[in-house]
């Protein structure tokens, strides 16, 4: 299959002063675009509601800070993401700590940092919360994550309604509510129903929220919860590694508000506070990857373009089928321009010594030459952090922050080995 690529350059990045001097490969994050995406999503959600930014999409401090500055709370699922949220200035009580398995040390660290909410996935996780609460002498507020009985339609990544590590099965909770009773030191005051990811169809979103709201009602009644936070998840889709606009869900706010009015009439007054989570919709469109052409050649009659970046910088998880298949819309961005030629059916690869390091197997792309810089758009989410960063030891790309049309920061992640234990040659410490 070949995909036809537009030949026009990307004017926005070409206009950023100094960007053509930045060493490649480089991710470029445009904070104005992240703010625009945030405004779009807020308008498409029922109000009042709280919006959590999921740092797994991109924990770059400038992005987290920009979104937090607009009122976003933060959803984190590791001590690294917690540190990033705190560093970006997110107030601890606006942080939700999720994940199907947490080490005691992580829980203790998060509780001591004052994290507002923990999503728990089982009775054992409730016990862990109770142990941590007792040791720290505080109350730990929890949301119980629910794995609903059947999958919601229209998901690219199904996370509910199937056997999984995420949440406790709704049937389990309903049939044995005693196992999920609050423990001393644990305030079980919320539910969490994240059902899927990357949904671009409004009806599919409404279908999953319909199921989520009705399941939440049944579980609230069965457990006798004083429900203060109802986190309905999200799954708001966004284009990945190809050009295209963010999807619009014009009727979503009205339709979900109707569902909530029917089952949780107090939600408009905050009883419960309704929340949503998003990673890719908020940060996906703000990021581009600029990477340079290292080689262009013919192989068995096909053009092959070798780039500085491969699955170590972008798309590592798509090979594992954990992301949409990578079809990079490679555009000449800061390229010299070569008179409108096209490379037909090109194989586009990275520099890694494995045939898996292939972004596209048959792509029509504007003619590029060694030294040109190409741009892959819509990779602000699940770009760098979802790649095989340590594989083969190439340097990380730079990360460039653009705000108000100007470069405001350039940084580079670094992997550093630290010795935990150093043994002498006799095997002794």
Ligand X SMILES: Cc1ncc(COP(=O)(O)O)c(C=O)c1O
Q: Give the nearest distance from C-beta 396 to ligand X in angstroms.
A: 22
Tokens 């606006």 appear where?
A: 94
Kindly identify the residues of this chain, within the stretch 107-136, that bind ligand X according to CB under 6 A: none
Q: Quick one: which of 198, 309, 378, 387 contacts ligand X (CB under 6 A)?
A: 198
Size of the residue set binding ligand X (CB under 6 A): 17
Exactly one of 24, 128, 160, 197 binds ligand X (CB under 6 A); that residue is 197
- Least CB distance from residue 129 to ligand X, whole Å? 17
Whichever of 282 and 334 has its CB closer to ligand X, that residue is 282
Alpha carbons 95 and 98: distance in angstroms, whole number: 10
The conformation of residue 76, written as its DSSP 8-state character, comes to E
DSSP letters spanning 187-252: EEEEEE---EE-B--HHHHHHHHHHHHHHHHHHHHHHT----EEEEEE-B----SS--PPP--TTH
Q: Classify 357 as helix, strand or coil.
A: coil
- Cβ closest to ligand X, residue 280 vs residue 377: 280
329 binds ligand X (CB under 6 A): no
Contact string 61-80 vs ligand X (x = CB under 6 A): --------------x-----
What is the number of the residue whose Cβ is closest to ligand X?
Answer: 279
Residue 380 binding ligand X, by CB under 6 A: no
Among the listed residues 26, 40, 51, 57, the single contact to ligand X using CB under 6 A: 57
Where does residue 246 rank: exposed (0-12), middle (13-18), buried (19+ CB within 10 A)?
buried
Stretch of 37-45, 275-283, 305-313, 353-361 contacting ligand X, by CB under 6 A? 275-283
- Shortest Å distance, C-beta 234 to ligand X: 5
Stretch that binds ligand X, among 14-22, 62-70, 131-139, 279-287 (CB under 6 A): 279-287
d(CA 263, CA 328): 43
Q: Both tokens of residue 242? A: 């190809």
Query: Of the candidates 407, 398, 380, 323, which has an alpha carbon nearest to the alpha carbon of residue 37?
Result: 380
* Separation in Å, CA 346 to CA 307, 330, 352, 359, 375: 12, 11, 18, 11, 16
- Least CB distance to ligand X at residue 233 (A): 6
- Longest pairwise C-alpha distance within the chain: 72
Q: Which of 98, 160, 312, 358 binds ligand X (CB under 6 A)?
A: 98
Residue showing tokens 């908020």: 282
| C-alpha R_g of the chain | 23
Q: Minimum distance from CB of 281 to ligand X (Å)?
A: 6
| Only segment of 106-114, 132-140, 232-240, 250-258 that touches ligand X (CB under 6 A) | 232-240
| Contact flag: residue 352 with ligand X (CB under 6 A) | no
Return all residues near 221 (Cβ < 8 A) that are at least 6 apart. none
Nearer to ligand X, 106 or 364 (CB): 106
> Omega before 300 cis (within 30°)?
no
Return the residue of 278, 285, 318, 358 that touches ligand X, per CB under 6 A. Answer: 278
- Of 54, 211, 349, 387, the residue at the interface with ligand X (CB under 6 A) is 54
The β-bridge partners of 54 are 75
Interface residues toward ligand X, by CB under 6 A: 54, 56-57, 75, 98, 194, 197-198, 234-236, 277-281, 381
């Amino acid at each position: 299959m070949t995909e036809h690529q537009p030949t026009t350059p990307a004017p926005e990045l070409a206009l950023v002063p100094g960007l053509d001097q930045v060493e490649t490969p480089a991710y470029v994050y445009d904070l104005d675009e992240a703010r625009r995406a945030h405004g779009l999503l807020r308008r498409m959600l029922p109000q009042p509601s709280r919006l959590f930014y999921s740092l797994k999409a991109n924990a770059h401090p400038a992005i987290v800070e920009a979104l937090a500055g607009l009122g976003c709370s933060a959803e984190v699922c590791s001590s690294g993401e917690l540190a990033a949220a705190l560093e970006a200035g997110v107030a601890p009580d606006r942080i939700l700590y999720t994940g199907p398995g947490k080490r005691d040390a992580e829980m203790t660290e998060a509780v001591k940092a004052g994290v507002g909410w923990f999503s728990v996935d089982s009775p054992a996780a409730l016990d862990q919360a109770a142990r941590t609460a007792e040791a720290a002498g505080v109350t730990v507020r929890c949301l119980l994550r629910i794995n609903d009985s059947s999958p919601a339609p229209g998901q690219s990544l199904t996370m509910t309604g199937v056997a999984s590590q995420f949440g406790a099965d709704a049937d389990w909770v309903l049939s044995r509510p005693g196992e999920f009773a609050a423990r001393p030191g644990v305030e079980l005051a919320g539910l969490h129903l994240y059902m899927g990811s990357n949904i671009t169809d409004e009806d599919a979103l409404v279908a999953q929220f319909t199921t989520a709201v009705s399941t939440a009602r049944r579980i609230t009644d069965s457990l006798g919860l004083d429900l203060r936070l109802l986190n309905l998840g999200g799954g708001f889709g966004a284009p990945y590694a190809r050009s295209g606009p963010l999807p619009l869900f014009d009727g979503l706010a009205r339709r979900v508000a109707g569902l909530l009015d029917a089952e949780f009439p107090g939600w408009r007054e905050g009883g419960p506070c309704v929340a949503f989570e998003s990673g890719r919709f908020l940060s996906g469109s703000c990021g581009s990857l600029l990477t340079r052409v290292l080689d262009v050649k013919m192989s068995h009659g096909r053009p092959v373009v070798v780039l500085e970046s491969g699955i170590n910088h972008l798309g590592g998880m798509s090979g594992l089928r954990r992301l949409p298949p990578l079809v990079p819309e490679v555009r000449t961005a800061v390229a010299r321009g070569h008179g409108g030629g096209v490379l037909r059916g090109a194989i586009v690869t990275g520099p890694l010594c494995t045939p898996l390091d292939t972004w596209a197997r048959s792509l029509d792309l504007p003619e590029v030459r060694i030294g040109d810089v190409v741009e892959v758009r819509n990779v602000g989410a699940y770009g760098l952090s979802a790649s095989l960063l340590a594989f083969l030891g190439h340097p990380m790309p730079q990360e460039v922050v653009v705000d108000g049309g100007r470069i405001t920061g350039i940084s580079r992640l670094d992997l550093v080995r630290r010795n935990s234990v150093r043994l002498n040659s006799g095997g002794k410490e």
